[in-house]
Amino acid sequence: MLICPVCKKKLIKENKTFRCENNHSFDCAKQGYVNLSRKQTKNHGDNALMVKARTDFLEKDYYDFMRQYVKSKANGSIYLDAGCGQGYYTKEIGTNFEHSYGIDLSKEAILHASKKDKHTQYIVGSLFDMPFLDESIDCVTSIFVPLGQDEIYRILKENGYWIVVGPGPKHCFELKEVLYDTPYENEMPEILEQYELVNQEIIQEKKMVDDVWSLLEMTPYRYKTSQAGLDRVKQLERLEVTFEFVVTVYKKYENKSKKMGN
């Protein structure tokens, strides 16, 4: 299932070590995760403070309705959450599967996920060079993360499913009304022609948020908003917010060249 990030040969797990036929070895941490990233720098992905802020917000389950919707669409034997972060979605969705994997470049996020979820094998690694065999995964989820569509295509089995989740047009619109003089709706995502579109749905719930600053920390608006806008958010004790998500389900073509008209 897993491959060596150095030579791309299959990895075999022996006790707490993954090893390939060329004797490259990768030890599991005591929490159970394995680091298969080829870039061993310290600051990839979310740091410890960012992971804590994200975890504190997610564990209040504002997004659970979306998580349960995605879980209802996810099936098969082998599951991968690509860009799993601290495992909020992975742990729940992974219960549908015999084998569950989560990959993220943030070691801090993977460390947190591994402590909470022993069913899933967590991996530190890149979404654009994932250490999985070709055509080895039944179902992949990508939830609010960059989309490495070519790499996903490589690792998906024929007839495998890729579930992509992003913000809907009205996601957090009330927060934008606080931040900006002229709030805007998000654009709908483009449909990826490399895959067969199975379904696309917009799901929405309105919820009262009592930690608005934590919500802001979850969004890209935090880093492109004026200080005046940030100050307005800090003054809020609570805010009713629309949580809206676009959930797109793709299927890997049985015969890509035939489907693409080649």
Q: Which two tokens stand for residue 100?
A: 């569950």
Task: Give residue limits of the domains in the chain.
Answer: 43-259
The pLDDT assigned to 255 comes to: 62
- The CATH number of the structural domain formed by 43-259 is 3.40.50.150
Please name the residue that has the structure tokens 């060249």.
Answer: 257
State yes or no: 112 annotated in a binding site: no
State yes or no: 99 annotated in a binding site: no
State yes or no: 139 annotated in a binding site: no
Digit-by-digit pLDDT tens for the chain (262 residues) are 999 999 999 999 999 999 999 999 999 999 999 999 987 655 566 677 778 888 889 999 999 999 999 999 999 999 999 999 999 999 999 999 999 999 999 999 999 999 999 999 999 999 999 999 999 999 999 999 999 999 999 999 999 999 999 999 999 999 999 999 999 999 999 999 999 999 999 999 999 999 899 899 888 888 888 999 999 999 999 999 999 999 999 999 866 544 444 4
State yes or no: 4 annotated in a binding site: yes
The pLDDT assigned to 260 comes to: 45
State yes or no: 171 annotated in a binding site: yes
Q: In sequence order, what are the residues at sequence separation of 6 or more whose Cβ sits closer than 8 angstroms to the Cβ of residue 49?
A: none
H-helix or E-strand containing 200?
A: strand 196-209
Q: In whole angstroms, what is the distance from residue 221 CA to residue 117 CA?
A: 30
Q: In whole angstroms, what is the distance from residue 94 CA to residue 92 CA?
A: 5
The pLDDT assigned to 42 comes to: 55
